[in-house]
Amino acid sequence: MRKPIIAGNWKMYKTSDEAVAFVDALAGKLKATDKADTVICPPAPYLAALVEKSKELPVQIGAQTMHEEVEGAFTGEISPTMLKSVGVEFVILGHSERRQYFNETDESVNRKVKSAFEHNLTPIVCVGESLEQREDNATAAIVSEQVKKAFAGISETDASSAIVAYEPIWAIGTGRTATAEDANEVCGQIREVLAELYSESAAQSIRIQYGGSVKPGNIKELLSMSDIDGALVGGASLDPESFAALAEAGANV
């Protein structure tokens, strides 16, 4: 069985004090376990502090995006080596909000995925269709294309350690979750694409998360599905009580 991975994407929420208070509140609520991985992806200014604080807890830290270059005249950007230098281990790449508001494309996501592996960061590669695409029955084609382009030129060894997050755009922050069956069907299609690209054994080792209005009340059903190996959670990851409940669900699949 693949080890579930529960990741909280805080997006652009919380002040520095609130971020520290969150981790303090998590202590005692989050039990150490080898049955699941738990990741928090805070805003960039708090990464270093939360890496330090997370040493007291069974939690790892991820970034929400990064630039593919190591350094250069790219005002405002953060490089993979900068993330590594403060102890970050995961990086979310190609989130639909990055694609929608910051012009990320399948091609730029691919460059970032390559760069993440080159610098020993584990990418959480996000894919997902819009409502219009779902209504046009284009979900499988869109998601398959996104996966193929994101993994172009990535070796099987690297790909085997990647995380893919299937996030239907219409389910993000809307309270409208895909049914567990629908989410599982698309995650299964993603696994088939990965098997075509690499091998059945690589596809079986890649963890696929579902994201989109995941909450303590629906995570168990989602995680009970055969091809859903975790969750990428936005809103419900902002409260320590709720995040601890999500992590606990991950450890008890």
Ligand X SMILES: O=C[C@H](O)COP(=O)(O)O
Residues 160-189 that bind ligand X (CB under 6 A): 167, 172-173
Q: Which of 113, 225, 232, 247 binds ligand X (CB under 6 A)?
A: 232
Residues 6-35 that bind ligand X (CB under 6 A): 9
Contacts of 238 (CB under 8 A, 6+ apart): 8, 10, 13, 14, 22
Q: What is the DSSP letter of 44?
A: G
Annotated ligand binding at 213? The verdict is yes
Taking the least distance from each CB to ligand X, the nearer of 80 and 235 is 235
Does 234 interact with ligand X (rule: CB under 6 A)? yes
User: What's the CA angle centered on 243, arms 84 and 146, to 5 degrees?
Assistant: 60
Taking the least distance from each CB to ligand X, the nearer of 115 and 213 is 213
Does 60 interact with ligand X (rule: CB under 6 A)? no
Q: Which of 68, 104, 129, 167 is catalytic?
A: 167
Question: Nearest residue by C-beta to ligand X?
Answer: 234
Phi-psi region of 155 (alpha: psi -120 to 50; beta: other; left: phi over 0): beta
Catalytic residue flag (residue 95) = yes
> Binding marks (x or -) toward ligand X, 183..222, rule CB under 6 A?
----------------------------xxxx--------
230-233 and 207-211: which strand pairing? parallel
Annotated ligand binding at 170? The verdict is no
Cα 74 to Cα 124: distance, rounded to the nearest angstrom: 23
Helices marked H in 67-171 — which ranges? 80-85, 96-101, 106-118, 131-135, 139-150, 156-160
Catalytic residue flag (residue 167) = yes
Taking the least distance from each CB to ligand X, the nearer of 198 and 234 is 234
Task: Indicate if the alpha-carbon torsion angle 243, 247, 248, 249 is positive or negative.
Answer: positive
Residues annotated as part of the active site = 95, 167
Binding site feature residues for substrate: 9-11, 173, 213, 234-235
The residues that touch ligand X, with contacts defined as CB under 6 A, are 9, 95, 167, 172-173, 211-214, 232-236
